[in-house]
Chains A and B, each alone.
Chain A
Amino acid sequence: ETGVTQTPRHLVMGMTNKKSLKCEQHLGHNAMYWYKQSAKKPLELMFVYSLEERVENNSVPSRFSPECPNSSHLFLHLHTLQPEDSALYLCASSQDWASGSTYNEQFFGPGTRLTVL
């Protein structure tokens, strides 16, 4: 156990559905991340939150909407997804998010396997 939990672990949704992924970290960290892992592709960073403020948004389509109500919780709201959005969505956290820091090791959750029909 890494101290980062994600729910649900598996999700199947239609293209017109609205769903949300949840991530919770029990490590007292200040930074949280969403990554997308598609088959045979490197992990792609989607969003970064530091102290509940979004600090990175890597050209992610607006059908993905993150929310960070507090430093322990991170959500990814999904709306009108496409079949190519099917992937493993991983959440991670680190002590801080600081440019140039060499000690901000990221701890990953188990992921949510998303299938869009």
Chain B
Amino acid sequence: NAGVTQTPKFQVLKTGQSMTLQCAQDMNHEYMSWYRQDPGMGLRLIHYSVGAGITDQGEVPNGYNVSRSTTEDFPLRLLSAAPSQTSVYFCASRQGSSYEQYFGPGTRLTVT
């Protein structure tokens, strides 16, 4: 099992550009989430999904879109990047019957 994978590892964008952060898991987990991590602020939930076709907003959803067409994939879209979206992004997944979340390795995004 590869677990939770994320691509790319690093990305630099210019203000106004769009991009998609990829997240995939091969553990057949129902639940998937996206977090952003900023210095001194812990991890904050952006969006989450409890299964294919079902998504919902977390604490800081503005500026981000998600979709969940398959159990394995949960991409995060930035429609028009802003410097405030400079952060490290983590994807996580868990089984519906378990509380434990498994995190991906993260994507470091810089918006100039």
Q: Do A and B bind each other?
A: no
Residues of chain B having any CB pair with chain A under 8 Å:
none
